[in-house]
Structure 1
Amino acid sequence: MGEKAEVVANVVAAGPLFLDVVQFGLEHAPRPGEEQWVAGGAVMAGGVANQAIACARLGLNVDVVTNVGADRAGRWVAEVLAEEGVGLAGSTRGGTQSVTVAQVLDGDRAFTTYGDGAYPDLPAGLADAAPGFVVASVDYLARNLECLKQLRGAGTVVVADTAWDPTGRWDRADLDPLAQADIFVPNAAEALAYTRAGNVREAARRLLELVPTVVVTCGGDGVVIASRPTCVLTRDHALGGPAGASAGGPGALVIELPAIDVEAKDTTGAGDSFTAGLVRALARGAKLLEAVVLGQVVAGWTVQRLGGSAAAPTRADLREWAGSGQLRWALPTDTAGPGEPSLGREPEFTGRFGPYLRIYVDEVEIVPQKSARLGAGPTDWPTIPDPAAVAAAYAGD
């Protein structure tokens, strides 16, 4: 493997790199000895490229730390990344390119993969380059704890995700490396499995024992955000409880957001797109609530299309969607009880507290009339951002 270049990007994404061959429109699962012509297909860069390309299309300067095959397939993947504006500083080259074949049937995918998926540790001296963000999986954090400690000391924000545990153990000790992360972005199934919690809100709250901020993606059920009292989310408003409150304890804040109104065709890459949107907004200094909404918008665009990294939106795509009149929150069914606001009518999503932005402090749902108990007046309540306005704000050059 060759020498690594100096990393100068403001976002560094680390992970295995694949050449993805994706086939759509299968009539049924493949049978031995059968050739089946399908409705469509695509070849693209995959793995860490999904996150990196999504970041680059939103205007971020991004490098990947990975290994690129020294064969023809690897050269092609490197060309795709270069065309998308993704740098390879910090990466190595050698061996054969890992390849994944994905077949899409009934909205789900089956995979066959060749290669070892190996990729290098974070390059020495990365803290001197002071990237704004490092995005990586929890298991990768475990390999780079000392480097991450230096990076965070230099001001880098570490965003971690995880993956399905094929062993079924879901050992919470595997999440210990989150001690060197700032934000953890699991999906609902992962959060529930690791915490053994009865609901996503409680799972997010338990994860605060490990990491300052948790953002759990819940697909069509929206997003759950949890934050310790002294973290970035609680600087947005006065609902964080007393300063110095314990992790996951007194003052722990949880907010539930609805989903974006979309018809999902393929959820592959949605998590990568969500993280890209989250990082893009935070890189511009946005509050966490706005950053999460941008993540939802970017993921919402992605799931309406087929094709991994190829489905990540550009800023022009965001501009078009924002102006279409079709980018909005999904409306829940009317489940209001006696004396509660009706959920069956169009809410004023950009107004103050409404039935679609639910706020909990220490597992107690708080309503505006009770906010004085926490020393917060009505003007301290966070607004639920209009997704079209958020998309438009990040659609510029």
Structure 2
Amino acid sequence: MTDPDILVAGETLVDFLPEHPGSLREVETFTRRPGGAPANVAVGLAVLEEVPWFWTRVGSDPFGDDLVETLVEYGLPERFVERDPEAKTTLAFVSHDETADRQFSFYRDGTADTRMESGTVDDLLRGVSWVHLGGVTLASEPSRAATLDLAERASEHGCTVSFDPNARPELWNGRTEFERQVGEILPHVDVLKATPEDLAEAGIDGEGVALARAACERGPHTTLLTLGGEGALAVATADAPWTGEATHPGYPVEPVDTTGAGDAFTAGAIAALSGGEDLEEALSFGNAVAATTTTAEGAMTALPDRERVERFRAERE
């Protein structure tokens, strides 16, 4: 087996999913699932037969044991799946409304994924062409510095750097700090995947294509904007290896759980773009991966393989 061509870096955590819709104070029973946006993307790529390197850090506790075992079961290399002997694993409790939209409550004070250290994966940057990062690790030091450093070094090595801001206001000391940190990393980003809500939190205003163009003005040559039930759109500048603009209306489904749908889209889009596909195919494939994911519970556990995605698309196109 050849070494992976993609590197994903960021948090792995435990999602506690509610037994029924409602606020956290109303829910008494939860189901435990592996999660964390970068972990979902890494596993999504592995399930799509594009196994990446994955740099993450979990606690040396039973939750960490279970997460590492899960990552290995999905085929991810263990080399940069770190165990922290002095910190716990992050927990996230999820609440759903009647449309399956979710909110999070994090237990992440000094946990393992806040303690990632700069320089850990520098040697990999000579051998990969794509590096994907998430915004949650920007919320705490030293992981913030490690994430920014990796973005800068990956860009210097000529890697395509993708980034998902993944705005979680409860992790930040106000919107200004989130806006500042996103503004600091965007000059080193090539492909930005975001929602309008993410960009609003980052101080980037507009709607539709105009919003995506405004995001590109901050540094990325490509913005992939996911729009929930309305699908997704993409804008690329002249600096991008693909050209123009694209839209896709998405695929109508009856959602069971939208947790991780954006991460599923990201995995699908990276798999397509890193494989030489154009923006139209990246949106179509990413939307199909995301839509399929929402038809089952959990983020990581609901991720589909290529055969299932292509069958899903064939039934609807």
Say yes or no: TM over 0.5: yes
Aligned residue number for residue 174 of structure 1: 182
Cα distance in 1 for partners of 2:256, 2:202 equals 28
Cα distance in 2 for partners of 1:134, 1:113 equals 26
Aligned residue number for residue 93 of structure 2: 101
| Residue 132 of structure 2 is aligned to residue 118 of structure 1 | no
Q: Is the 8 A contact 1:214 1:227 kept in 2?
A: yes
Displacement, 1:10?
Answer: 2.0
Against the structure 1 CA distance between its residues 119 and 199, is the aligned structure 2 distance closer, same or farther, given a 3 Å change threshold? same
Against the structure 1 CA distance between its residues 29 and 190, is the aligned structure 2 distance closer, same or farther, given a 3 Å change threshold? closer
Deviates more, 1:135-144 or 1:217-226: 135-144
| Residues 203-247 of structure 1, C-alpha deviations (whole Å, 9 max, x = no match) | 11111212111111111122121111232222xxxxxxxxxxxxx
Q: Which has the higher contact order (CA 8 A, sep 6+)?
A: 2
Helix, strand or coil at the partner of 1:311: coil
Against the structure 1 CA distance between its residues 175 and 165, is the aligned structure 2 distance closer, same or farther, given a 3 Å change threshold? farther
Q: 1:136-147 to 2 correspondence within 5 Å?
A: 136-138=133-135, 139=138, 143-145=146-148, 147=150
Q: 1:297 aligns with which of 284, 288, 291?
A: 288
Aligned residue number for residue 32 of structure 2: 43
Question: Which structure's CA Rg is the greater one?
Answer: 1
Cα distance in 2 for partners of 1:302, 1:131 equals 27
| Residues 53-93 of structure 1, C-alpha deviations (whole Å, 9 max, x = no match) | 11111011222211121122211111111111122322321
Aligned identity (percent) is 25
Aligned residue number for residue 154 of structure 2: 151
Aligned residue number for residue 75 of structure 2: 85
Q: Is the 8 A contact 2:257 2:296 kept in 1?
A: yes
Between structures 1 and 2, the one with greater helix share: 2
Against the structure 1 CA distance between its residues 254 and 191, is the aligned structure 2 distance closer, same or farther, given a 3 Å change threshold? farther
Aligned residue number for residue 163 of structure 1: 166
Q: Where do 5+ consecutive residues of structure 1 fail to align?
A: 1-6, 235-252, 329-397
Cα distance in 1 for partners of 2:151, 2:102 equals 34
Q: Is the 8 A contact 1:65 1:119 kept in 2?
A: no
| Residue 230 of structure 2 is aligned to residue 221 of structure 1 | yes
Q: Is the 8 A contact 2:190 2:221 kept in 1?
A: yes
Q: Is the 8 A contact 1:99 1:114 kept in 2?
A: yes
| Residue 278 of structure 2 is aligned to residue 269 of structure 1 | no
- What is the count of residue pairs matched by the alignment? 296
Displacement, 1:196?
Answer: 4.8
Q: 1:24 aligns with which of 16, 19, 40?
A: 19
TM-score normalised by length of structure 2: 0.82
| Residues 308-367 of structure 1, C-alpha deviations (whole Å, 9 max, x = no match) | 1111112232243244x2x24xxxxxxxxxxxxxxxxxxxxxxxxxxxxxxxxxxxxxxx
Displacement, 1:149?
Answer: 4.0
Cα distance in 1 for partners of 2:94, 2:156 equals 40
Deviates more, 1:196-205 or 1:135-144: 135-144
Cα distance in 2 for partners of 1:219, 1:42 equals 24
Q: 1:1-397 to 2 correspondence within 5 Å?
A: 8-26=3-21, 28-29=22-23, 31=25, 36=28, 42-47=31-36, 48-94=38-84, 95-106=87-98, 107-115=100-108, 116=111, 117-120=113-116, 121=118, 123-138=120-135, 139=138, 143-145=146-148, 147-164=150-167, 166=169, 167-169=174-176, 171=179, 174-209=182-217, 210-234=219-243, 253-323=244-314, 325=315, 327-328=316-317
Q: Is the 8 A contact 2:255 2:294 kept in 1?
A: yes
Q: Is the 8 A contact 2:247 2:283 kept in 1?
A: no
| Residues 17-60 of structure 1, C-alpha deviations (whole Å, 9 max, x = no match) | 2122222324x5455xx884x6xx53221113211111111011
Cα distance in 2 for partners of 1:181, 1:197 equals 19
Against the structure 1 CA distance between its residues 119 and 292, is the aligned structure 2 distance closer, same or farther, given a 3 Å change threshold? farther
Helix, strand or coil at the partner of 1:12: strand
TM-score normalised by length of structure 1: 0.67
Cα distance in 2 for partners of 1:72, 1:224 equals 41
Q: Is the 8 A contact 2:250 2:284 kept in 1?
A: no
Against the structure 1 CA distance between its residues 119 and 60, is the aligned structure 2 distance closer, same or farther, given a 3 Å change threshold? farther
Cα distance in 1 for partners of 2:181, 2:115 equals 23
